[in-house]
């Protein structure tokens, strides 16, 4: 068994499976996440979020897989009776993009649904996440990377019901510089969008950028309740210092938790879990679980 402090991971994502009373932890797990050939993604499993079995190889690329490096930010969802992974990849001769993979079991092995990413081929994209709208239609929410556009964008793109392709053009939801808490000298980061509805049913989004004290997580709100917004931003980040790429999930006892990686320095990143409460539609960060 491994403890949280023994697991090096970026961009943690937790899938709770109630029937198994098991939490599955995915994330960016390559030894060198910035350089070198990509290895794949590992997954860990736990019953208490403190003691973890693994790592298990959730995805390993075939010899003819198109991507070479930057295997980043896998998220896994149960959808239509199967498990779908949204993950980011890069090749020297091809733009970074988010691809969808599928497995019959949360531990894998995951296999690509298509030969290529479904984000726009000519865009540098990352951190695709799945959103199911009020009409049960799937969308990918993703980042158009600041490296290409300077002021990073969060975009939405409708998907086919089988998650194999985009069925509409991407729509820009907002730019990173629109939030008062983001910092940049002409270059503003967008990372890690994650969609959820609060107790009042308002559609909100966690996303990451650079703040006053480093990597941080902010909250955006759709004033219409629709994925297409318009979107407004809380003035201060939810988590403000050297940690980010967060998502929310419920424990089997009904508590709402935020998971992030912190600190934001390689190779020191570890998964962290925080209690979160809602007050008047606003998330309030609680204690870190030990």
Q: Where are the domains of the chain?
A: 4-288
114-132 pLDDT, tens digit each = 999 999 999 999 999 999 9
pLDDT band at 270 (very low <50, low <70, confident <90, very high): very high
Q: For the chain, what is the largest distance between any 2 Cα atoms, rounded to a whole number of angstroms?
A: 52
Backbone phi, psi, residue 200, to 5°: -85, 0
pLDDT band at 36 (very low <50, low <70, confident <90, very high): confident
Residue 218 CA: distances (Å) to CA of 119, 147, 173, 237, 276: 24, 20, 15, 4, 14
Share of the chain above pLDDT 90, in %: 98
Adjacent-strand bridge partners of 42: 57
Sign of CA dihedral 180, 183, 186, 188: negative
Backbone phi, psi, residue 221, to 5°: -130, 135
Q: What is the pLDDT of residue 245?
A: 98
Q: What is the pLDDT of residue 231?
A: 98
Distance CA 254, CA 251 (A): 5
pLDDT band at 185 (very low <50, low <70, confident <90, very high): confident
Q: What is the pLDDT of residue 254?
A: 96
41-100 pLDDT, tens digit each = 999 999 999 999 999 999 999 999 999 999 999 999 999 999 999 999 999 999 999 999
What string of DSSP letters covers 220-231? Answer: EEESSSSTT--E
138-168 pLDDT, tens digit each = 999 999 999 999 999 999 999 999 999 999 9
Q: What is the pLDDT of residue 190?
A: 98
Strand pairing class (125-132; 111-112): unpaired
pLDDT at 202 over 90: yes
Lowest model confidence (mean pLDDT) among 27-36, 217-226, 269-278 = 27-36
Q: What is the pLDDT of residue 41?
A: 98
Question: Could you tell me the CATH superfamily of domain 4-288?
Answer: Glycosyl hydrolase domain; family 43 (2.115.10.20)
pLDDT band at 170 (very low <50, low <70, confident <90, very high): very high
Strand order in the sheet with 256-262: 244-250, 256-262, 270-279, 282-288
Q: What is the pLDDT of residue 290?
A: 84
């Amino acid at each position: 068994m491994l403890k949280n402090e023994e697991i090096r991971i970026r961009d943690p994502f937790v899938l709770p499976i109630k029937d198994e009373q098991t939490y599955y932890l995915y994330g960016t797990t390559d030894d060198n996440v910035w350089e070198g050939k990509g290895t794949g993604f590992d997954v860990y499993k736990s019953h208490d979020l403190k003691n973890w079995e693994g790592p298990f190889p959730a995805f390993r690329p075939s010899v003819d897989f198109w991507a070479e490096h930057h295997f980043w930010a896998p998220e896994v969802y149960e959808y239509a009776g199967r498990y779908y992974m949204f993950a980011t990849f890069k090749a020297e001769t091809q733009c970074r993009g988010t691809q969808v993979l599928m497995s019959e079991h949360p531990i894998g092995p995951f296999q690509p649904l298509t030969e290529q990413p479904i984000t726009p081929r000519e865009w540098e994209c990352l951190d695709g996440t799945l959103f199911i709208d009020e009409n049960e239609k799937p969308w990918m929410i993703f980042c158009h990377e600041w490296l290409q556009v300077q002021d990073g964008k969060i975009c939405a793109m409708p998907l086919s019901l089988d998650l194999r392709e985009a069925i509409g053009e991407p729509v820009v939801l907002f730019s990173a510089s629109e939030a008062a808490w983001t910092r940049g000298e002409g270059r503003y980061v967008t990372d890690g969008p994650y969609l959820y509805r609060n107790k009042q049913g308002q559609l909100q989004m966690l996303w990451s950028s650079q703040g006053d004290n480093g990597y941080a997580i902010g909250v955006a709100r759709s004033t219409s309740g629709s994925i297409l917004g318009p979107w407004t931003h809380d003035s201060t980040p939810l988590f403000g210092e050297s940690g980010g790429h967060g998502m929310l999930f419920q424990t089997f006892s009904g508590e709402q938790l935020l998971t992030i990686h912190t600190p934001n320095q390689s190779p020191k990143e570890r998964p962290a879990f925080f209690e979160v409460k809602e007050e008047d539609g606003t998330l309030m960060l609680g204690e870190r679980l030990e």
